[in-house]
Amino acid sequence: MTKTKEIILRISLTGLLMGLIYLTTQFLAIPYPNGGYFNLSDALIIFTAIYVGPLEALIAGTIACALADLIGGYGVFVGFTIVAKGLEALLSFFIYHLLRKRKHLKYFSLFIGATAMIGTYFASYCILFSINYAYTSTLFDLIQGYSGALIAFSLLKAFRNIPLPYKKKSEWTNSFAFLVYLIYFWSIFVKCQISLL
């Protein structure tokens, strides 16, 4: 595959998945009693990170979910959503590829990625609301995150015999740089949020 075709394919897949993640987040949402909602974005983000690529998952997942927050009236969570979905994508990818030679153990990466998302939102609830609200809302995030990991597992099994032509080892180093930057900007964002309270 030529470099031009690879770029076109990656951009097309990213745009397609961004739209799909947005639709499942915004229009297939199931409301929770606490004001939040259940959605399938985590399943698609984890699947995209491992099957398509971490950068595609990072871009598609963060933009789609942040847009859903803005349009759905959850603008206060946008910064946390970007970090939560970004970490979910990158950690799922990194740990999966660290354990890629382990037949079954590598799939624990899906649940670690989901745990990163849950932990980020727990921090957001503590910062924006209270510790009691955080404990209540995190129960719903646990359901969403881990059910999303199970769905992602099913998708990966379904697509295991349909490889993409551009997978490269360089994805690892590029994604590591993005992870470092993401953690850095997240720490700055949290400091700004705390100083405003």
Q: What is the pLDDT of residues 32-91, one digit of tens each?
A: 776 778 889 999 999 999 999 888 999 999 999 999 999 988 889 998 999 999 999 999
Residue-level pLDDT at 126: 93
pLDDT band for position 184 (cuts 50, 70, 90):
low
Of the candidates 146, 157, 48, 46, the residue with the CA atom closest to the CA atom of residue 91: 46
Of the candidates 10, 46, 51, 48, the residue with the CA atom closest to the CA atom of residue 149: 46
pLDDT band for position 150 (cuts 50, 70, 90):
very high
Give the C-alpha distances (Å, rounded to integers) separating 103 from 9, 106, 153, 189, 195.
29, 7, 13, 38, 46
**Structural contact between residues 21 and 44, judged by C-beta atoms closer than 8 angstroms:** yes
Q: Residue 1 pLDDT > 90, yes or no?
A: no
Average pLDDT, the chain: 85
d(CA 176, CA 164): 21
Residue-level pLDDT at 100: 84
Residue-level pLDDT at 160: 85
Domains and CATH numbers, the chain: 3-196 (1.10.1760.20)
Residue-level pLDDT at 9: 85
Residue-level pLDDT at 196: 56
How much is the pTM? 0.83
Residue-level pLDDT at 72: 86
Of the candidates 34, 144, 168, the residue with the CA atom closest to the CA atom of residue 88: 144
d(CA 121, CA 101): 31
Which is higher by pLDDT, 186 or 149? Answer: 149
Residue-level pLDDT at 16: 93
User: 29-43, 77-91, 98-112, 142-156 — which is least confidently predicted?
Assistant: 29-43
Q: CB count, 10 Å around CB of 178?
A: 16
Which is higher by pLDDT, 138 or 36? Answer: 138
